[in-house]
Chain A
């Protein structure tokens, strides 16, 4: 498989095929990451697209300090966080306008099959945002703590600590509901 550095060189030279290859290579991972953070398929698709638009339009700011994949994750996480902040503001506004409206539905429940898997997925969603992102990056995307630090904009040690708190929280929740 051609490495990302070569592909990026070809992209910068204007080679459309290399651009397509990079999008094809990473779009599933970025989509899954976005879906885990924003919990909605439509939003995850939009954020995936915007991640690539933003990344390629700012390619000159990629300094090769981390891998392209880690940098792409960083762009995606930042985009998802901005999206969540904006959505929170809109949601709070809607709540003010229509007090008593039913709270947000459970989109994840429609996506995941199997009782235990669903319970686990819901518990991840209940984790604090940072722990949720870091646990997802470690468990599902298999990033090292150093890469998680880069992608989630924190130190390697913070990534490690948050991961272990997250796992401890999940273990506690699963124990409480009798799954373990």
Chain B
């Protein structure tokens, strides 16, 4: 029986047509002497032939014909079409965020940025600025991340400053999009310090995008990121 076990895997490969010639001959020679393996080979050959006969319908001609245009259109709309001049890869991270809790922490960090930025701008306690209808607590953020298991992005809007955190659970990566952020000098410093401070805890690899902010603002932030020692990709997108 031990000998037969050895041939079981090879029989499937032989039936697939994926076994080297030399091994084919060996398996066939064994099957010629072993009734059980001969039956197995015969059944597996029949199974593969049956499977291969189950051909699926071709994609619709109109789907295939316009696909490249539609994909390109979607990419163009999001500013991610290949060769787009406003997409400037700065640096690529070497690792990945490892755990869901790290993602939750990163999301918390993003929200924290906004809270502090709002606070700094108004000179008030950030907590006092929390909108009553979006009073995020750490638990809520963690719950939100758990909810996102079924989707891959969340948008958080706090008094006109919008952050979209895009989480890819399959690749364990995370991207932040800061939109319409009217950032002052202090905001920049805080952002840089925040990212630098986050490094040793959980920052490993993430993308940052900026929409509708000035080029100068974007450059300052990118320089800050470069100097922070973190390992993220920083990509200005839609910079005015």
Contact = CB atoms under 8 A, between A and B. Distances in A.
A5 to B, nearest CB: 15
Nearest to A36: B56
Contacts of A44: 59
B63 to A, nearest CB: 5
Interface size on A, as a range, is: 35 or more
B34 interface: no
B152 A82 contact: yes
A142 B150 CA distance: 30
Contact of A27 (B55, B64, B83): B64
B82 interface: yes
B170 A81 contact: yes
Contact of B83 (A15, A86, A124, A174): A15
A48 interface: yes
B43 A41 contact: no
A128 interface: no
B150 A57 contact: no
B8 A164 contact: yes
Interface residue SS majority, chain A: helix
Interface residues of B, number: 47
Given A45-B59, A116-B50, A61 B171 contact: yes
Interface in B153-179: 169-171, 173
A112 B80 contact: no
A162 to B, nearest CB: 12
B70 A45 contact: no
A49 interface: yes
B65 to A, nearest CB: 10
Contacts of B75: 53, 56-57
Interface in A146-169: 153, 160, 163-164, 167
B51 interface: yes
Interface in B139-160: 149-152
Given A12-B82, A85-B149, A118 B54 contact: yes
Given A89-B150, A139-B48, A167-B47, A117 B53 contact: yes
11 contacts: A13-B83, A14-B83, A20-B68, A31-B63, A48-B59, A57-B80, A82-B152, A114-B54, A119-B50, A139-B52, A174-B50
Contacts of A16: 72
A53 B74 contact: yes
B93 to A, nearest CB: 10
Contact of B71 (A15, A35, A49, A180): A49
A150 B59 CA distance: 26
A57 B83 CA distance: 11
Of A139, A153, A174, chain B has the most CB atoms within 10 Å of the CB of A139
A85 B150 contact: yes
A174 B51 CA distance: 11
B156 to A, nearest CB: 21
